[in-house]
Amino acid sequence: MFVPVESERDIPAECTLLLPAVSVGNVGQLAIDLVISTLNMPKVGYFYTDCLVPMVGNNPYATNEENAKELSTNAEVYALPTRKLVVLQLRSPIIKKKSKSFRQALICWIKRCSFTKVVLLSSSHAYQRVDQQLFGAPFRYLLTPVLQRSVADVVQELEWKEMEKVSSYPGINDDEKKISVPGGGFTKHLYDDCCLEEIQLAVVLKFCSEGDNIPDAFALLNHVNEWLKLVEHSDGDLSVKWKIPSSWRLLFGSGLPPTLF
């Protein structure tokens, strides 16, 4: 359920929704952090649900002492009407056995807001790739049938690779195949739900391993930016200058205390 920060604030119409999956390396969440920080997106509300692990913390995008005191929760909504963009950031995992309830609540909200399309940023275990996934770029995409009709030409022009189907029973029956996103959290189930509900959803993911996943987040976001044009390239510069949020200074803790030595 969406709870606006201010009573008169609501979700802008005809927007693209960008959200992460809580998946391997937290790559999608890190990428969303970069989007919010770079575009300086204002918070418009909270996604209130009992399906996520409770969490509260300081403002992860603080720029001064005053706004550093603002609190953040496990699911917050940011919007930039001028760019027709809405972002849902998830900061804690889904409680076990509540994944279906969370997906149902999310789909109800997506339908109510009438988003033009939904883009889910995710990741998958690199070590569980099948043979055909070992070559080329480490990115894959999935499109629901209703979105496939409108953006198929775009992804073909970008030369993106669709997520390959893998054998349901390896070594026993290789004819029966399915889509599998190991380490992708609720990615596969949300994709299936959106197919049934005829929601225009695109999944964009990167194969990766646990560790320092900041480079993976930058890579995934640069890949998505080729399509969504969230940030335009500078003249003569092919790289995008993403703004790192202040909270990333403590991403791996505060360092070793000098007294230890």
Characterize the bridge pairing of strands 2-4 and 43-47: antiparallel
Q: How many helices (H) and strands (E) does the chain have?
A: 5, 12
Rounded to 5 degrees, what are φ and ψ at 86?
-125, 140
The CA dihedral of 59, 62, 68, 73, to the nearest 10 degrees, is -10
pTM: 0.91
Is residue 39 pLDDT above 70, yes or no?
A: yes
In angstroms, rounded to a whole number, what is the distance separating the alpha carbons of residues 210 and 232?
Answer: 30
**Mean pLDDT in residue range 212-232:** 93
**How many CB atoms within 10 Å of residue 106?**
23
In angstroms, rounded to a whole number, what is the distance separating the alpha carbons of residues 114 and 82?
Answer: 17
For residue 11, what pLDDT is reported? 80
Domains of the chain by range and CATH?
12-251 (3.40.50.10900)
Q: Is 12 exposed, middle or buried (0-12, 13-18, 19+ CB in 10 A)?
A: middle
* Average pLDDT value for the chain: 89
Q: What contacts 43, CB < 8 A, 6 or more positions away?
A: 5, 76, 77, 78
**Mean pLDDT in residue range 221-249:** 82
In angstroms, rounded to a whole number, what is the distance separating the alpha carbons of residues 114 and 16?
Answer: 9
Is residue 261 pLDDT above 80, yes or no?
A: no
**Mean pLDDT in residue range 207-218:** 94
In angstroms, rounded to a whole number, what is the distance separating the alpha carbons of residues 161 and 155?
Answer: 8
For residue 238, what pLDDT is reported? 56
For residue 12, what pLDDT is reported? 78
167 pLDDT tier (thresholds 50, 70, 90): confident
Token couple for 218: 């930058």
